């Protein structure tokens, strides 16, 4: 197939899923065209089946807000025509689904037909999508898409509750590429950071309020009171400065390392013992899945799609959002002795294997075929 993929090219979960999906489809022989405003973060190598088309947003003194959606729709029309794409797969509703539907209508007026598949990821529905100013456009774009997927059953339910959706929604869970995300022999790195055998705790996110990174720090503080530990924080975002302040206020700043945005996340996960994901909302929790693939048990909230990934008491523990006390106690249960930790690590890996790219990719290919066959 000749597939167009639209996504945010950043480190955010939806962009990561879209890019990894495109790379995997290309390795199975499909031609994959990324249409984005900059080179996707994980698209950093040459493959004869991968193509990148930049969306240029022109500025003009009149534009306080440059019309990105218009530029994207125009670029989609151009790429579909020139590259003769079979299908457009857009990730994240705003503004990708609406731009794709717009492009589809323009192309139809010229006698060119192309189906649009929209994958909803989370905040496009649960946070941004809740904003009533976007509701008519999101509902319309979902209903005008030829196929719609969500990354969890939970997100499907929320989409149906929040929007007037008449389209059937197919759930295809997120996935992990074990050729990249698996435990790497990096113990020398661990010895530098935790020379006295401290436990290594980790969290990765884009430091938005929804991630509750403050809870990560408070849970860590409690863990450290019982078991000497170090905390690694990967990622960056609007809350980072507040989190740095919190670490200083709690007098634990020397135990916490802010690593910022990192490429080789799997190497850092490999030197850790426990991953914390206390989000207010999480439609799937890709970061937790990648951690589990590197053999890390997870302490998380029980919100959104997390219970579809985690097995409580087996791969880690889930708690109500904000229950720092329970999260810390659960963490201590996991870290208490070497045998227990080993068991949780192995359980986390077994569960992650259910979400391997080899298992999930055929679901997308089958979905593309079924949409094309009824289009
Ligand atoms: O929250 C993020 O990390 C980014 C965000 C996105 O859309 O870019 O992630 C959402 O999509 C991920 C990939 O499908 C999911 O794993 C995340 O759970 C989801 N984030 C939220 O629901 C908060």
pTM: 0.94
- Ligand 1 touching residue 151 (CB < 6 A): yes
217 CB-contact burial (10 Å; exposed 0-12 / middle 13-18 / buried 19+): buried
- Categorize the per-residue pLDDT at 130 as very low, low, confident or very high, splitting at 50, 70 and 90: confident
CA neighbor of 249 nearest in space, from 202, 227, 217: 217
Alpha carbons 22 and 20: distance in angstroms, whole number: 5
- Which tokens go with 161? 């509750």
Count CA within 13 A, CB hemisphere, residue 251: 1
Residue 43 has what pLDDT? 82
Place of tokens 């598949």: 117
What confidence tens digit (pLDDT) does each residue in 170-228 have? 999 999 999 999 999 888 889 999 999 999 999 999 999 999 999 999 999 999 999 99
Residues 167-176: tens digit of each pLDDT: 999 999 999 9
Q: From CA 158, how far away is CA 145, in angstroms rounded?
A: 18
Whether the pLDDT of residue 44 is over 80: the answer is no
CA of 156 to the centre of ligand 1 (A): 14
pLDDT tens-digit series, residues 257-268: 999 999 899 999
CATH code for residues 187-355: 3.40.50.2000
In the predicted model, is pLDDT for residue 11 greater than 80? no
The three-state secondary structure class of 46 is coil
Q: What is the pLDDT of residue 46?
A: 79
- What is the chain's alpha carbon radius of gyration, rounded to the nearest angstrom? 21
Question: Has residue 362 got a pLDDT over 80?
Answer: yes
Would you list the domain boundaries of the chain? 2-175+356-374, 187-355
CA distance 335 to 131: 41
Strands 50-54 and 31-36, how do they pair? parallel
CA of 208 to the centre of ligand 1 (A): 11
Q: Is the pLDDT of residue 98 over 90?
A: yes
Contact (Cβ atoms closer than 8 angstroms) between residue 92 and residue 141: no
The distance from CA 33 to its chain's CA centroid, rounded to whole angstroms, is 20
Q: 3-class DSSP state for residue 216?
A: helix
Q: What is the mean pLDDT of residues 37-52?
A: 87
Average pLDDT (30-53) is: 90
Cα distances from 105 to residues 101, 164, 290, 309, in angstroms, run 6, 21, 38, 37
Same fold, 2-175+356-374 and 187-355: yes
Domain 2-175+356-374 has CATH 3.40.50.2000: yes
Q: How far apart are CA 55 and CA 72, in angstroms?
A: 6
Q: What share of the chain is helix, strand, coil (3-state, %, to 5)?
A: 45, 15, 35
Instruction: Give the C-alpha separation, 363 to 172, whole Å.
Output: 7
- The pLDDT assigned to 126 comes to 81
The residue length of the chain stands at: 375
The residue nearest atom 14 of ligand 1, judged by CA position, is 121
Pocket test for ligand 1, best of 36, 123, 210, 235 (most atoms within 8 A of CB): 123
Atom index in ligand 1 nearest the CA of residue 16 equals 13
Calpha distance 151→130 (Å, rounded): 18
Distance CA 262, CA 234 (A): 7
Q: Which atom of ligand 1 lies nearest, measured to the CA of 151?
A: 14
Cross-sheet strand order for the sheet of 87-91: 50-54, 31-36, 2-6, 87-91, 116-120, 147-150, 169-171
pLDDT of 19 > 90? The answer is yes
Q: Is 300 in the pocket of ligand 1 (CB under 6 A)?
A: no
pLDDT range class, residue 131, cuts 50, 70, 90: confident
């Amino acid at each position: 197939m000749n597939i167009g993929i639209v996504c945010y090219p950043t480190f955010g979960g939806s962009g990561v899923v879209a890019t990894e999906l495109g790379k995997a489809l290309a390795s199975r022989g499909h031609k994959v065209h990324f249409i984005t405003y900059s080179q996707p973060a994980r698209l950093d190598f040459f493959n004869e089946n991968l193509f990148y088309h930049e969306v240029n947003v022109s500025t003009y003194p009149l534009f306080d807000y440059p019309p990105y959606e218009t530029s994207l729709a125009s670029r989609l029309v151009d790429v579909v025509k020139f590259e003769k794409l079979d299908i457009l797969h857009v990730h994240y509703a705003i503004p990708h689904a609406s731009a794709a539907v717009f492009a589809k209508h323009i192309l139809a007026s010229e006698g060119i037909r192309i189906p649009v598949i929209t994958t909803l990821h989370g905040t496009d529905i649960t946070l941004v999508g809740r904003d009533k100013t976007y509701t008519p456009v999101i509902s319309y774009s979902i209903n005008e898409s030829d196929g719609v997927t969500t990354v969890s059953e939970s997100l499907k339910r929320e989409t149906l509750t929040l929007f007037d959706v008449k389209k059937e929604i197919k759930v295809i869970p997120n996935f992990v590429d074990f050729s990249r995300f698996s435990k790497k022999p990096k113990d020398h790195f661990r010895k530098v950071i935790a020379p006295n055998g401290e436990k290594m705790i980790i969290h990765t996110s884009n430091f938005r309020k929804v991630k509750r990174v403050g809870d990560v720090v408070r849970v860590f503080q409690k863990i450290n009171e019982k078991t000497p530990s170090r905390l690694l924080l990967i990622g960056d975002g609007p809350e980072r400065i507040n989190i740095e302040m919190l670490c200083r206020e709690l007098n634990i700043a020397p135990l916490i390392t802010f690593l910022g945005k990192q490429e080789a996340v799997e190497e850092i996960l490999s030197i850790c013992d426990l991953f914390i994901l206390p989000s207010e909302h999480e439609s799937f929790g890709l970061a937790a899945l990648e951690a589990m693939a590197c053999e890390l048990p997870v302490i998380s909230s029980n919100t959104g799609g997390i219970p579809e990934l985690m097995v409580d008491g087996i791969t880690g523990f889930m708690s109500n959002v904000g229950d720092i006390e329970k999260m810390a106690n659960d963490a201590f249960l996991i870290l208490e002795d070497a045998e227990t930790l080993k068991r949780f690590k192995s359980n986390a890996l077994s569960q992650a294997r259910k979400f391997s790219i080899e298992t999930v990719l055929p679901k997308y290919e089958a979905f593309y075929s079924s949409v094309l066959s009824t289009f």
